[in-house]
Amino acid sequence: MEAFNLPPLLLPFFLFALLQTSTIAAKKSYIVYLGSHSHGLNPSALDQQLATQTHYNLLGSVLGSNEAAKEAIFYSYNRNINGFAAVLDQDVAEDVAKHPDVISVYENKGLKLHTTRSWNFLGVENDGGVPSNSLWNLSSFGESTIIGNLDSGVRPESKSFSDEGYGPIPKRWKGSCEGGSNFRCNRKLIGARYFNKGYISIVEPKPLNSTLETARDHDGHGTHTLSTAGGNFVEGVSIFGNGYGTAKGGSPKALVAAYRVCWPQTLDGACFIADVVAGFEAAISDGVDVLSVSLGGDATEFSNDLIAIMSFHAVKNGITVVCSAGNSGPTETMVSNVAPWMITVGASTIDRLFTTYVVLGNKTRLKGESLSNQILPAKKFYPLIRSLDAKFNNTSLNDAQTCEKGALDPKKVKGKIVVCVNVGDPMAKSYVVAQAGAVGIILVNYEDVGDELLPAAHLLPAAHISYTDRKSIDQYIQSTKSPIAYITRVKTELGIKPAPIMASFSSRGPNPIEPSILKPDITAPGVNILAAFSDEASPTGSPYDKRRILYTVLSGTSMSCPHISGIVGLLKTLYPKWSPAAIRSAIMTTAETKANDLNPILNQEKEKVNPLAYGAGHVQPNKAADPGLVYDLSTQDYLNFLCAHGYNKTLMKLFTNDTSFFCSKSFKVTDLNYPSISMNNLKSEVVEVKRRVKNVGSPGTYVAQVEAPRGVSVSVDPSTLKFTKTDEEKDFKVVLRRVPNNQTDGYVFGKLVWSDGKHRVSSPIFVTLRRQ
C-alpha cells in the first residue's frame, strides 16, 4: 500500500495486488489515517459526529467544499481508529497526505484469504479424528469469552452456532446484529456486521446485488473459520460419511461475532483494506476478546501494513489478534502478518487421512487421498490412460498433461480412468475429465510438490497420489499394451503416524521485515479440517457442482489460525487478566516439536523441519493452560521496539498519540521480551539478549537448560530463578557468541528451557551465521 508521506525506502503495501478484472474508475480509493481519537474507547454519539465532521472539514479543505468531501468519503472511522476512506484522484490524495493532521495515506488494495484452492483442532473436529491434545477438560465452559472473526461472513443457521442452553448476552457487549435481510443473531452468534464499501469502490459491481448487502457467507470460508474457533457441539457430522463424529470449535461455549470484510474474488483480491479497517474498528469498539484474522498479503514494513497497525490498536485495548501465516511455502521468507504484537500461525496435519487406493492391473496398490462420494463398481477394472495419450492432435503437451479445458479427446477418454498432473485447480480437472466421458481420475504430483496430498470432493471417482507413486503408474502403463486400474472407495483412517507433519504450503520464515522476531510463532492443525460450511456453495467451489453440504474439509493457514483463536478464547476464560502477550507466551512455550511417533516433526518429503516452519512448535492446549512462566509485554515495550527498529517521531504517530512517550535509547530490537530468540548475522562479538519471565504458577525454582545452536556458545545468567509468589518477575540475559574458528554457515537452531521439574518453559533459538 502506498503511503505518500513515507520514506521511499519503505516497501509499498501489499505488493501482491494483481491486475483488475472489472472496469475501474479513473479515481481510486484511499484510506487517510489520522492515528487515534482523543475521545477514548467508548465515544458518545456526539463524539462520533464531531469526529466525522473533522474528516469532512479536512478533506473539504483540499477539495474546496465539505459537500464534495461528503460525496467522496465512504467510511468515517470515528470510534476507535481515526481516519476515513474516500474515492479520490491520485493528485488529490497526494495533497491530502501533505495536510498537517494526516499521518499517512494508503491506497485501498485487496488482500487474500489464506485457504488453499485445492479444497482441501481442537478447531471443528470430530470424534473420529480429534487430536489427542484437545482441551476436553476445558471445553465445557468459556461462555464469557467473545471471539470475533474478520472473514467472508457466516451462515447463521448452522447448528455450530446454536444458542441452546446459553444465558443472556453479556452487558459489556456493545455490538449489534446488522447482518442484512433474513439474517438473525442469537445468544451464541451475538453480533454480525458487513463492510463492503471498499470493495464496491474498486470493483464497481453493476447492479449491486443482494449478496453484497449481507453478512451471510456465500462461499463457506467465514462459516468454516468461525466454527473452527468457536462452534458449538454438533453430533453426527461428516463429509459424505467420512470423518463421522461430533463437531466442536476450539472454544465451543464461546460467544462469537462475524465481521464480513471479504467478497467475491477478483484479480484485485477479495478483502479490501478499507473494509478490513472498518471491521477492525467495529470489533474493537464492540468489545471482542479475541480477533481471528485468516487473511493477509505479502509481508511489508509495519508502517505500511494496515493490518499490523489495526492489530496494534486492538492489542492496546487488550484484544488478542491471531493471524494466518500465509500459504506461500515452502519458500523461505514468505511468512506474512509478522508484527510482534500478533500471533502468527502456520499449518500442519492431524492424525487422520481420507484414504483411497489405486489398484493397478499388475496388483500394485498405491495409497492416495480423496473425498469423492462417487464409487466405482466393486473391484471392476477400467482401461487406464495418461492424459498425454488422450489429447487432441492440436493440443499442447502442457495443456494435455494438466487436463486443461478442451485438451482431451472424448473418443480416447470415454469409459477410462485418466491420469492428470495436478497443477492448478484439481476440481476443474475432474470436471474436464468427467465431461469427456471418463469414469475416474488419478491426480499425480509433479516433482517439486513431491508427496503432499490434499483430498477433494471430486465429481467422479478420484485419487490424489504422490510423485513417487506417479512413477510406478508411468512404469506400469509403459509395460503393457492394455493398462487397467481400479479406484477403491474412500475410507477414514485414524491414528496416522507420524503426525503432525508440516504442510508444504504453510509460509516459512525468517521474518522478512524484522529478523530479530521469529515468525511464524506456532503451528496448528490446518490440513483437511472438517468444519461448518455454507449451503450456498458447492464442496468443490465449481459452478458446475450442484451438491450442497453443511460441513466440509478445507486446508490452509486460514484453518490453523482459528484453532489458535479458540485456544486463546479458553485461556482468556481461565485467566481474564492475562495480556495478549502472556497468552501467546503460554501457547508458544508449551508447544511440541516432536510428532506422535516421538521423532522430530517432518515435512511432506520426510525431512526434518525447524522453527522457520513451525515457530515454537505444534500447539499443546492442555499444557498452555498451565505454562508455569510467561514472557509478558506492554504497549510501551512494543513502542520501544519500533523505536529500536528505526522509526522516527513521524512514523511513531502511526502507533501512538501519547505525547508523554519517549523512546528508550538503550533498547535493542533483540531485547523485546519475546518467547523466542532470533539473532541475525551473529559475528565474532558477544551479544547479550535481555528477557524477563513472570511466574503464573506456584512458587518454585526454575533451572535453565540450553541446547546451543551448532557453532554458537550460549550461556544464561542467572541460570537459576527462584519465585516465592505468583506474578513475581525475574530478569535474565542470554549471552550468545560464535565459537572461534567455526566455519558453520547459514541457519542454526537451538533451545532454551526453564524447568522446575513440572513445567518446561521452552523458547526456540534461531541464529544466522555467515562464514568469517
Query: Which positions are catalytic?
Result: 151, 221, 558
Peptide bond into 611 cis (omega under 30): no
SS3 per residue for 223-236: HHHHHHHHCCCEEE
By CB atoms closer than 10 A (0-12, 13-18, 19+), residue 54 is middle
Strand, helix or coil for residue 453: coil
Residue 461 CA to residue 268 CA, distance in Å, equals 35
H/E stretch holding 586: helix 580-589
**Amino acid letter for position 663:** C
Cβ atoms of 497 and 351 within 8 Å: the answer is yes
Residue 640 CA to residue 690 CA, distance in Å, equals 14
C-alpha cell at 687: 551479544
What is the DSSP pairing of strand 28-36 with strand 104-107?
antiparallel
Cβ atoms of 216 and 183 within 8 Å: the answer is yes
C-alpha to C-alpha distances, 693 to 344, 629, 722, nearest whole angstrom: 21, 6, 11
H/E stretch holding 164: none
Cβ atoms of 696 and 730 within 8 Å: the answer is no
Other Cβ atoms closer than 10 A to 722: 13
Tell which residue, 301, 140, 295, has the closest CA to residue 222. 295
**Where are the strands (E) in 248-326, listed by range?**
255-260, 262-266, 269-272, 290-293, 295-296, 320-324
Residue 305 CA to residue 10 CA, distance in Å, equals 11
Cβ atoms of 148 and 291 within 8 Å: the answer is yes
Strand partners, 157: none
Cβ atoms of 556 and 593 within 8 Å: the answer is no
The C-alpha angle with vertex 629 and arms to 625 and 631, in degrees rounded to 5, equals: 105
Strand, helix or coil for residue 254: coil
Please give the span between the terminal C-alpha atoms of the chain, in angstroms, as a whole number: 38
Residue 348 CA to residue 596 CA, distance in Å, equals 13
By CB atoms closer than 10 A (0-12, 13-18, 19+), residue 755 is middle
Other Cβ atoms closer than 10 A to 357: 18
Q: What is the DSSP string of 426-457?
A: HHHHHHHHHHTT-SEEEEE--TTTTT------
- 647-682: b (≥16 Cβ within 10 Å) or e: beeebbbbbbeeeeeeeeeebebbbbbbbbbbbbeb
Q: What is the DSSP string of 33-72?
A: EEEE-SS-SS--HHHHHHHHHHHHHHHHHHHS-HHHHHHH
**Amino acid letter for position 459:** L
Residue 61 CA to residue 71 CA, distance in Å, equals 14
Residue 470 CA to residue 621 CA, distance in Å, equals 38
C-alpha cell at 46: 456526539
